[in-house]
Amino acid sequence: MLGLQPSDFFRPSDFFRPSDFGLRISPLPVTTPDIFYEIHPHSLNHAGEELCGDQVKILRRADRSTVVLSDGLGSGVKANILATLTAEIIVTMRREDARLEDIIETVLGTLPACKVRGIAYAAFVIAEIEHATGRFQLINFDSPEPIFLCQGRVTPLAQREETIQGKTLRFSEGRLERGDFLGLLSDGVLYAGMGTLMNFGWGREQIGAHLQALARGPVRSAENLVRSVMRKTNDLYDSAPGDDATFVGILARKPNRLMLFTGPPTDRARDEELAQRLLHFDGRKAVCGGTTANLVAERLGEIVETDLGTVREDVPPIGWISGVDLVTEGILTMARTLALLKQCAGHPLRLPADRNGAVLLARELLKADSIQFIVGEQVNPFYQNPLLPRNISIRHSLVEQLAETLRSYHRAVEIEWF
């Protein structure tokens, strides 16, 4: 391969160091593309088991994302514990910028071997993507080979094997550009339907062909591709999986951004500035609060229109302003939205089907990859004693809780207070 050491174009501490194992990498330009790396995992439990023997851990940082898929030997509680232990060790050490060599040696030194079958108690595959370049590395121990779709076509990745502590690991690398897809899978996906009449599992080639067919149309999310693969997997198992099965999709796509403006600023001289920031934002736009909505509408020479069909007992109606995607009431709606976000555990499909301000706001927040909160701290005496400090206001507390919840669902969140 064309040679360039990792340190020639990024800090070694920022990324796995293939030079530790003799790998050399092709030079890539250091750019900051307008790309978001969406990561979506989906698992099927072995029939009759409450716990999944596969585990996925995701570590997102400003400069890179790390994904670990671990497959514990067998199924049920024992497999779940072993897979969880493996994934947690890798993610925890990577969070502390541990070297790849140290991580792999720790994991392989920790995992016992099955005395009967003579194999490790857990397999794993690690994918790490550098955000600035889209460059990724894969480290694979006893897991199926990942599937890489480049420009909509299955593309093989060159592999290099290395023996560490008597175990063989496979290393490969590539680059994700917009529209490219990387799929990590446990062997339960490959074995779906194996042993049934005229069916020997659908295998890696069939899965690749399935993904390639889906990629002929517009690919809007990793979730859509992953769910399609797992529906087919479940069908081949006749809805009774004979093994834990997990598929993790990583899609390079245009980012979904949201700006949420709530509360007028304490300095009214900044009204115009904040309204214009919202209106010129490159992404989805939401306004929460009647006073805030009127502030924005005035800059457009409009009056906020109200949709009384969306009023509910515990949620006020939504409104309409030109150029703004969602307009809701403030405190009551945000409080109900926070409750919905926690109830759905970050899964948009688990939100109620009802069309009201809180549900619509929760959907906007979960559809976004990054959320920019613009929060005015002028106190509304109806909700808050104006003599109390601003940082213990209801609005302040709600925004902080919303941000914390969204970050736990791997959303990038920034807050500006005015």
pLDDT confidence of 115, banded at 50, 70, 90? low
Q: What are the tens digits of pLDDT across the range 168-184?
A: 999 999 999 999 999 99
Q: What gap in Å lies between CA 192 and CA 238, rounded to an integer?
A: 9
Q: What gap in Å lies between CA 354 and CA 341, rounded to an integer?
A: 15
**Looking at residue 331, what is its pLDDT?**
94
- Identify the architecture of domain 6-253 in CATH: 4-Layer Sandwich (3.60)
pLDDT confidence of 219, banded at 50, 70, 90? confident
* Fold of the 257-417 domain: Rossmann fold (3.40.50)
> How much is the average pLDDT of 89-110?
87
Q: Check if the beta carbon of residue 310 is closer than 8 Å to that of residue 357.
A: yes
Domain ranges of the chain: 6-253, 257-417
Q: How many helices (H) and strands (E) does the chain have?
A: 10, 18
Q: What are the tens digits of pLDDT across the range 22-78?
A: 433 333 333 345 899 999 999 999 999 999 999 999 999 889 999 999 999 888 898
Among residues 49, 142, 141, 137, the alpha carbon closest in space to that of 104 is found at 141
**Looking at residue 24, what is its pLDDT?**
35
Q: What are the tens digits of pLDDT across the range 246-292?
A: 999 999 999 999 999 999 999 999 999 999 999 999 999 999 999 99
Output the six-digit token pair for 379. Answer: 């106190």
**Looking at residue 1, what is its pLDDT?**
32
Percent above pLDDT 90 for the chain:
72
Angle of helix 331-344 relative to helix 357-367, nearest 10 degrees, comes to 60
**Looking at residue 117, what is its pLDDT?**
55
Among residues 138, 170, 136, the alpha carbon closest in space to that of 28 is found at 136
